A and B are shown apart, each in its own frame.
Chain A
Amino acid sequence: MSFATTSLDTGMTKQPHSSTETAPGNMRRATTAPLDIETVVEELKELPQPVGMPLLDDPKYHTRDVSVFYNETKQAIFNVDLDIGRNEVIAMIGPSGCGKSTYLRCLNRMNDTISGCRVTGELLLDGEDVYARSQDPVLLRARVGMVFQKPNPFPKSIYDNVAYGPRLHGLANNRAELDEIVEDSLTKAGLFKEVKDRLNLPGTGLSGGQQQRLCIARAIAVSPEVILMDEPTSALDPIATGIIEELIDTLRQSFTICIVTHSMQQAARISQRTAYFHMGYLVEVNDTNTVFTNPEHLLTENYITGRFG
């Protein structure tokens, strides 16, 4: 299915959308049952703003009207308005190809590395333009760390994996300080006890779950403000998944965490807010309790109840 680029009214006329103002026609109540999905999807183009509570006061990330194009021919996401709060875990869910990972990757300019990818709109981190010319992507990524689906430790020792970032950014003045950062990061990632006797062995020798926690330790070693996680547990068994979910909840005290997940149950377990993407549109953002008991939008309802793939 192809989308014409929509020309949404994105100017000053945009009003904060509240869930109580019902605008028939552009907001589908989950409990009405038209079930002509194509019509509902068409209506997304007219949706002035995601339903629910996409906007917050004093957010960590303030993003407006974000669109991403690949090679100018394919638009991956359409005019996304979303605020991400401080010290919250926000889960991005949606079917494959809905744009949730693309959006996540905009947040620390990971899309810069993809040729032909163009990002438009406004992305502010603490009021600072992420895409400003003066913004150094390397420093940005120190502030906004990332954890990927597959654990990808460097082919170095466990110690060096964690020490890599602090060394690069000059965060430690001497070996003792570096040791402290490494131990602290590994402890926060819940891995230190398991590896403290073999810090000099290669990180690639750890189990999958341990490797993923090593990657999390590596991400938090540079004291980021935000951690982006792109399906961090989809390659792990339930026990390792449980450990990492518990870890995410602990890390929330110090960081803001955005997590893309295919497991709705995981989103339900660990997030405070949930954002539902569909075919490049951000459809609904609400607190997680609402999304999983009484979602506002029919598409959200259908997705989380398993009514389409």
Chain B
Amino acid sequence: MNKSVEIGHHTSQQYNHELEDVRNLLLQMGGLVESQLAKALKALLEHDSELGEEVAFSDYKVNQLEVEIDEQCARIIARRQPAASDLRLLLSIIKSITDLERIGDEAEKIARHAIRTNDLNSGKLNASLRHLGDHVREILRESLDAMARMDSPQALRVARSDSQIDQEFDLLSRQLLTHMMEDPRTIQDSLNVTWCARSLERIGDHCKNICEYVIYFVEGKDIRHINLSRQAGKEIAASQTAPETVPQRLPAGLDPDPDSIQS
């Protein structure tokens, strides 16, 4: 089931290399952000302030990559005037790195909480946060995967599963509220947990954006601000049962539809 859009095969080998290079940088940045998040969560949950320091310090590497990739994209646009899929590739890279950089920032925030907080008192809160963290890491990994393989069905799946993170976050928020009402002494800790959960929830949103850029690149369709859930069932079914010879497309129903636009 080969959905990947070819990057190579330009008459100009140099152009192939340039696109390949910038894409590799993007993947490198994705990998870096992923490890930043993993370390930040580890630092938070295992009260490892040293690791937290490391993460907070390393954020500059993410920022550097963002600048470098932006520069390369600008150079390619200026010199090659990319069109069609090449243009969509560069646009989605430029947009993806903004989200990746913000994920890096959120990881840094979590890491700073890890430095400040010596102990999360409640084991229960800790478990909820760990669960949310694992889920978000999973989503990030899958988004980066979809990006690396230019896999639009997976990107769509991941983009849709972001709502689960939102639900989980709401649940955790309610849990924290109960805690704070029951015992005001936990307010400080609970607030810390809230901030971290909030960061994780934001990371989920950024992952969703990245998936949308993958779909834009592969399919040429802009699915931002469209209610994805309505299409959910038949969509996945269609993409899983489609015979391999038929070019896989997003169904026409995913075209922007005024009725389904979320406010």
Contact = CB atoms under 8 A, between A and B. Distances in A.
A102 B218 CA distance: 35
A268 to B, nearest CB: 7
B56 to A, nearest CB: 40
Interface stretch (B6-14, B41-49, B94-102, B185-193): B6-14
A306 B220 contact: no
A295 interface: yes
Contact of A24 (B84, B86, B245): B245
B83 A292 contact: yes
B5 A33 contact: yes
B257 to A, nearest CB: 14
Contacts of A264: 83
Interface on chain B toward A: helix, strand, loop, or mixed SS?
loop
Contacts of A295: 84
Size category of the A interface is: 20 to 34
A33 B83 CA distance: 17
B85 A306 contact: no
Interface string B3-37: 11110011110010000000000000000000000
Contact of B9 (A22, A31, A307): A307
B83 A24 contact: no
Contacts of A20: 252
A39 interface: no
B10 A305 contact: yes
B253 to A, nearest CB: 11
Contacts of A240: none
A301 B85 CA distance: 7
Nearest to A302: B9
Given A20-B252, A305-B10, A306-B15, A31 B83 contact: no
A31 B215 CA distance: 11
Residue with the greatest number of chain B CB neighbours at <10 A, chosen from A264, A268, A304: A304
A110 interface: no
Most chain B beta carbons < 10 A, residue from A20, A33, A268: A33
B87 interface: yes
A127 to B, nearest CB: 34
A305 B246 contact: no
A32 interface: yes
User: Which of B5, B81, B87, B247 has the most chain A CB atoms closer than 10 A to its own CB?
Assistant: B247
B219 A31 contact: yes
B2 interface: yes
Contact of B84 (A22, A294, A308, A309): A294
Interface in A104-121: none
Contact of A22 (B6, B219, B247): B247
B11 A309 contact: yes
A291 B87 CA distance: 12
Given A35-B9, A305-B10, A309-B11, A22 B220 contact: no
A307 B74 CA distance: 21
A221 B87 CA distance: 41
A24 B88 contact: no
B249 interface: yes
Contact of A30 (B9, B80, B84): B84
A29 B246 CA distance: 10
Interface of A: 20, 22, 24, 28-33, 35, 264-265, 268, 291-295, 300-302, 304-309
8 contacts: A24-B245, A31-B247, A35-B6, A292-B83, A292-B87, A300-B84, A306-B10, A306-B12
Interface of B: 2-6, 9-12, 15, 80-88, 218-220, 245-249, 252
